[in-house]
Amino acid sequence: MMIGPIGFAAPWLLIALAALPVLWVILRAVPPAPIRARFPGVALLLGLRDDDTVTDRTPWWLLLLRMLAVAALILGLAGPVLNPRDAARPGAGPLLILLDGSWAAARDWPRQSETVDALLAEAGRQGRTAAVVQLSQPEAPVFRTSEAWRSSLPGLAPRPWAPAGTDAPEMQRLIEALRDMPAPVDTVWLSDGLARDGRREVLAAVQSRGSVRVLESARPALALRPVGFADGKVQLTGLRAATTALPGQEAIVQVHGRDPAGAMRVLAAQPLTFAEGADSATVDIALPAELRARVTHFEIAGQRSAGAVALTDDSLRRREVALIAASENREGLELLSPLHYLEKALAPNAELLRGTLMDLLPANPDVIVLADVATLSEGETAALLDWAEGGGTLLRFAGPRLAASEVGRAAEDPLMPVRLRAGGRNVGGAMSWGEPKTLAPFDSESPFAGLPVPADVTISSQVMAQPDPALAARAIARLSDGTPLVTRKSMGQGQVVLFHVSANAEWSSLPLSGLFVQMLERLSVSSASGQPAAAEVEGTTWQPLRVLDAFGGISEAGTLPGVAGPTLLDGPLGPDLRPGVYRDGDRTLARNVIGPQDVLTPVLWPANVPVSGLDRQEETPLGGPLLALALLLLLADVVASLALSGRMTGRVSGRSSGAVAGRGTVALLAVLALGLPATPLRAQQDGAPDDFALLATEELRLAHVITGDAQLDELAHAGLRGLSETLFFRTSVEPGAPLAVNLETDDLSLFPFLYWPVTPDQPTPTEEAYARLNRYLRTGGMILFDTRDADVAGYGAASPNGRKLQSLAAPLDIPALEPVPRDHVLTRTFYLLQDFPGRHTGGQLWVEAAPPDAELIEGMPFRNLNDNVTPVVIGGNDWASAWAQDARGNPMVPVGRGFSGERQREIAFRFGVNLVMHVLTGNYKSDQVHVPALLDRLGQ
């Protein structure tokens, strides 16, 4: 029950407040009113004074004090809570918690996690089951107890991509599962605040099952579009989910890169200012070419999300352009040189290389410019073809030599985009124009699209392209009469481009215009470094180098699989295509969370869906303070009663005043002492580290690592419970109930053995967690890594679980490993074993490798290994499933078929017993089998 901001856990106790008037009457009658009787002899008593006086009625202020004490006691026992969580929404059915779980949710993820934990705790107090579904990784809702979900919350993390649309199969399956939930189901949707495809269908599905309310942050999401480069400056566009009422905002864009020593540094910073109500802002950052080559990414400071990071690839690296002409400059006629205008246009944004073709090719430039070069040798042609097909851009210009040659006349030359007609076209020639021609506007598919065409740029001569069915598709610039002026053809991963005019001003005024500079930038700088076309990457596979997590952290990709070129360009981000930097040969390509045309649109919820923020007032129980107040008021009542009765001053007839005063003082001190709150030797809250340590050490306990997958964690817990029961009944080891271990917060040294099931999506531990893990492995602890994929690929990188294990284990101090030898102590610490099955069989088991110089004692089946227990055991047989038992001791997961399956389960239990005995006894068993040899040596 709510009264204003105060809720009551036991409101029925408030009925006792109605008894306060009755209590008032009762208190007024104590002490009883004196009986008045007239007696003539009382006149003899006039003038006498009796020190022992008793009032005829209780004073009003003492009555009020007692009434307040009783009221405080009643209110305190009613369990009042200030700002109770969800007290106005008690609910009765299951609770569904939907999280967008995208990169946009990462900025407020700690608060979202706290909110989810609070919702689950409230559901637990109400006895409701709950389910948690993350739309960025949709799965059918599974309703469990709230405590089961709360134990898996540390593994819950956002994803560096947006939830899939309704056309995705996994989202369709989720929507069907939501529609099939048994009603009523209350839904709480923790939104990231962005509008996306599919929200309406999901909302309709959950609304059909019960009430829905939305929680989202009031802070707008900020993001960066991919980096652009123009006019010698880096161009960045920032986005935010803005409305017209959103005030202006300023953010800081940081430029991150490596210093000369290789360490990551903030190389520059620039403010990014959003106008009032604006959803985008642009900033230009001038960086020297040497600094641009060191940049790895741009980031909006203070925004912990992948969308606020813009990764860079080859786009900012200074291009290397090789300039080659048919002849050297003629002295005194520099303006007639075929390379003069090219040098002036390209020098601001590219590194120019001069020399012969065969001398420059080994340098692997990004662009090679051939200015009126007609004939190439076979060796030069073959070398240029290999270079261009590997991703280079060959830029050719016509001229008198090319026009007079036979190149591309009879057949299409491999290093020309089109066939050429004999002769040329010029003003006053055989194929004359009445006047010089101007340029036509560029097509939208042209790389020059959007560039303004100056009216004063004219063409007086050109080489002509032979009409061909492919000519229209290859022409990227035309004259006003439709004649192709610039043509292009793809060659493998590269391209060849031909200007049908000369590179100097002899055939046109184009080299004298600013348009010439812009066209060269698009071809030799921007196109060579920007996003390639889909046709250029067809048939290629790009390997990930670095990937982003949802919080904007950059990590090595490890063994993540490659991505097909067209998918990398246009495919939706997800588990199989993560945002990051990808490589193919010498080229790198960045796939960011935000695309060049993306915008951030705030979501508009229907009017019947209540929306509130994540900021919530802290829940404060008031029962304790009210009970303490009642106790203080009762103490004050005792003191006041003593004072009114005269026992505080000793005015009591017939007794020694000093003795009475002393007893009153002693009584008062005793009352005060009883009223003082006892100071405990140690105050502990549930879940405090000392409580966890006490629980873990009061008896031996096996432990498993929390993965974030609630179903898998529950299965691991059941598996260790079954193994503990087996140890209890078969050995002298008597473990307690197993515990779940959070690598980020719990002390690992309390457990001799950790079971770690591996899933592809479990979060990577932090550096502090890895430090604790390494300390654990170095001080005698053992971890059993179980990839659970022996039925698919066995241990290794052939499966997602194996690749994830390699990523998880990379920072760990793990020694060299080998398949478990037949004479290893693990094969006979308790049972004699040679196979180690779980739910699967045949998977290889890996342990610490023996030293190369390990001594083989003659006649003994064991080698003289070191005294340490193997710190890791790695396999994929899914042992927890074979060990798992419910509370009644019944197996939870089927293993094999019939008798052979039960035999396999029995061997799995025996392996678990051997493993735990090996952890607890170390090399004791190995020394046991060495006893004959040791005794023989002692006898010598």
Residues 40 and 515: their CA atoms lie apart, in Å, by 132
Cis peptide before 31 (omega within 30 of 0): yes
Neighbour count for residue 650 (Cβ, 10 Å): 18
User: Could you tell me the CA-to-CA distances from 462 to 70, 393, 507 in Å, in that order?
Assistant: 105, 22, 7
- What is the pTM for the complete model shown? 0.53
> In this predicted structure, what is the pLDDT of residue 470?
86
> In this predicted structure, what is the pLDDT of residue 231?
61
Tokens representing 200 are 């309406």
Higher per-residue confidence, 480 vs 89: 480
Residues 491 and 391: their CA atoms lie apart, in Å, by 8
Q: What is the pLDDT of residues 158-200, one digit of tens each?
A: 999 999 888 888 899 999 999 989 888 999 999 988 998 888 9
> In this predicted structure, what is the pLDDT of residue 907?
92
Q: What is the pLDDT of residues 94-131, one digit of tens each?
A: 999 999 999 999 988 988 988 898 889 888 888 889 99
Q: What is the pLDDT of residues 264-283, one digit of tens each?
A: 889 899 999 998 888 899 99
Q: How many helices (H) and strands (E) does the chain have?
A: 25, 42
Q: What percent of the chain has pLDDT over 70?
A: 80
Q: Which of 185, 259, 152, 103 lies closest to 574 in space, CA to CA? A: 103
Q: Please state the rounded mean pLDDT for residues 78-91.
A: 63
DSSP structure class, residue 731: S
Q: What is the pLDDT of residues 521-533, one digit of tens each?
A: 888 765 444 566 6
> In this predicted structure, what is the pLDDT of residue 96?
93
Residues 741 and 146: their CA atoms lie apart, in Å, by 18
Q: What is the pLDDT of residues 777-836, one digit of tens each?
A: 888 888 999 988 887 755 555 678 888 888 888 888 888 888 888 878 888 888 888 889
DSSP structure class, residue 214: E
Q: Which of 278, 230, 222, 227 lies closest to 255 in space, CA to CA? A: 227
Cβ-Cβ contacts under 8 Å for 1 (sequence gap 6 or more): 7, 8, 11, 14
> In this predicted structure, what is the pLDDT of residue 767?
85
> In this predicted structure, what is the pLDDT of residue 703?
93
- pLDDT for residue 241 is more than 60: yes
> In this predicted structure, what is the pLDDT of residue 655?
45
Q: What is the pLDDT of residues 343-371, one digit of tens each?
A: 888 887 777 888 888 888 888 888 999 99
> In this predicted structure, what is the pLDDT of residue 857?
44
